[in-house]
Amino acid sequence: MLEYLHIKNVALIKDIEINFSKGLNILSGETGSGKSMIISALKFVLGERISKDFIRKSEKEAFVEAIFVQKENFSNILKELELREEDDGSIIISRTINQNGRTINKINGETVPQSTLKQLSEYMYDMHSQHEHQSLLNPNKHIFLLDKFCENIFVLKEELDKLLKEYKILDKEIQSLNLDEKEKEQKIEILSYQIDEIEKSKLKNGEEEELLEKKKKALNSEKIRSLSNESYKFLYEGFENEKPILESLSKVLDNISELKDFDNEFESIYERLYESFENLSDCSSEIGKYIRENDLIKDDIEEIEERLDTIYKLKRKYGNSVSEILSYYYNIKEQLTNLNLNDERLKEFTEKRKGLYRKMFTLCEEISSERKQNAEEIEKAVTEHLHDLEMKNASFKIKIEDKKKISHDGKDSVEFLISPNLGEELKPLSKIASGGEMSRVMLSLKSVLSEADNIDTFVFDEIDSGISGRTAQKAGEKMCKIAKEKQILCITHLPQIAAMADLHFLIEKHEEDNNTFTTVKELTEKERVNEISRLMSGSVITDLSKKAAEELIYNAIEYKNL
CATH number for the domain harbouring residue 414: 1.20.1050.90
Whether pLDDT at 452 is above 80: no
Do 20 and 4 touch, CB atoms closer than 8 A? yes
Of residues 278 and 299, more confidence is placed in: 278
Task: Judge whether 135 lies within some domain.
Answer: no
Do residues 444 and 468 share a domain?
no
Question: How many domains in the chain?
Answer: 3
pLDDT digits (tens, 9 = 90+) for 411-421: 999 999 988 88
Do residues 123 and 167 share a domain?
no
Task: Judge whether 386 lies within some domain.
Answer: yes
Chain centre distance of CA 78: 17
CA atoms within 13 A on the CB side of 336: 16
Question: Pick from 293, 311, 339: which residue ends a domain?
Answer: 339
Whether pLDDT at 298 is above 60: no
Do 228 and 235 touch, CB atoms closer than 8 A? no
Task: Judge whether 55 lies within some domain.
Answer: yes
Characterize the bridge pairing of strands 125-129 and 457-461: parallel
Question: Pick from 404, 435, 452: which residue ends a domain?
Answer: 452
What are the beta bridge partners of residue 458?
A: 126, 488
Helix (H, G, I), strand (E, B) or coil at 135: helix
What are the beta bridge partners of residue 111?
A: 106
Task: Judge whether 138 lies within some domain.
Answer: no
- Provide mean pLDDT across the span 122-134: 67
Mean pLDDT over each residue of the chain, to the nearest integer: 86
Task: Judge whether 289 lies within some domain.
Answer: yes
Do residues 100 and 154 share a domain?
no
Do residues 207 and 327 share a domain?
yes
Do residues 315 and 220 share a domain?
yes
Residue 383: φ, ψ to 5°: -60, -45
Q: Is 558 exposed, middle or buried (0-12, 13-18, 19+ CB in 10 A)?
A: exposed
Could you tell me where the beta strands, DSSP code E, fall in 243-389? none
Do residues 221 and 329 share a domain?
yes
Task: Judge whether 140 lies within some domain.
Answer: no
pLDDT digits (tens, 9 = 90+) for 97-126: 999 889 999 998 899 999 888 888 877 887
Question: What percent of the chain stands above pLDDT 90?
Answer: 35
Label residue 534 by pLDDT band (50, 70, 90). very high
At 562 the pLDDT is: 78
Where is average pLDDT lowest: 168-172, 222-226, 376-380, 501-505? Answer: 222-226
Label residue 132 by pLDDT band (50, 70, 90). low
In 3D, which of 19, 39, 21 has the Cα closest to residue 29? Answer: 39
Do residues 386 and 322 share a domain?
no
Do residues 223 and 92 share a domain?
no
Task: Judge whether 133 lies within some domain.
Answer: no
Q: Which residues, 6 or more positions from 546, have their beta carbon under 8 angstroms from its beta carbon? A: 529, 530, 533
At 130 the pLDDT is: 56
Whether pLDDT at 354 is above 90: yes
- Provide mean pLDDT across the span 314-341: 87
- Provide mean pLDDT across the span 281-305: 76
Q: How far from each other are the two terminal CA atoms of the chain, in whole angstroms? A: 25
Whether pLDDT at 131 is above 60: no
The DSSP letter of residue 55 is B
Q: Which residues, 6 or more positions from 283, have their beta carbon under 8 angstroms from its beta carbon? A: 235
At 212 the pLDDT is: 86
Calpha distance 205→303 (Å, rounded): 19
Backbone torsion region of residue 245, taken as left when φ is above 0, otherwise alpha when ψ lies between -120 and 50, otherwise beta: alpha
Whether pLDDT at 488 is above 60: yes
Provide the domain limits for residue 469. Answer: 2-127+456-560
Label residue 261 by pLDDT band (50, 70, 90). confident
Whether pLDDT at 433 is above 70: no
Whether pLDDT at 296 is above 60: no
Considering Cα of 105, then 109, then 115, then 119, what sign does the dihedral take? negative
At 455 the pLDDT is: 78
Of residues 370 and 295, more confidence is placed in: 370
Do residues 100 and 205 share a domain?
no
Q: What is the 3-state secondary structure (H, E, C) of 442-457?
A: HHHHHHHHHHHCCCCE
Task: Judge whether 446 lies within some domain.
Answer: yes
pLDDT digits (tens, 9 = 90+) for 46-73: 998 888 789 998 899 999 999 998 666 6
What are the beta bridge partners of residue 399?
A: 415
Chain centre distance of CA 291: 68
Do residues 160 and 42 share a domain?
no
Helix (H, G, I), strand (E, B) or coil at 401: strand
Question: Pick from 410, 432, 452: which residue ends a domain?
Answer: 452
Whether pLDDT at 238 is above 90: no
The DSSP letter of residue 339 is H
CATH code, domain with 44: 3.40.50.300
Of residues 341 and 530, more confidence is placed in: 530
Where is average pLDDT lowest: 284-288, 355-359, 452-456, 516-520? Answer: 452-456
Do residues 527 and 443 share a domain?
no
- Provide mean pLDDT across the span 160-164: 94
Do residues 193 and 335 share a domain?
yes
Residue 49: φ, ψ to 5°: -70, 150
At 497 the pLDDT is: 93
Calpha distance 562→555 (Å, rounded): 11
At 96 the pLDDT is: 95
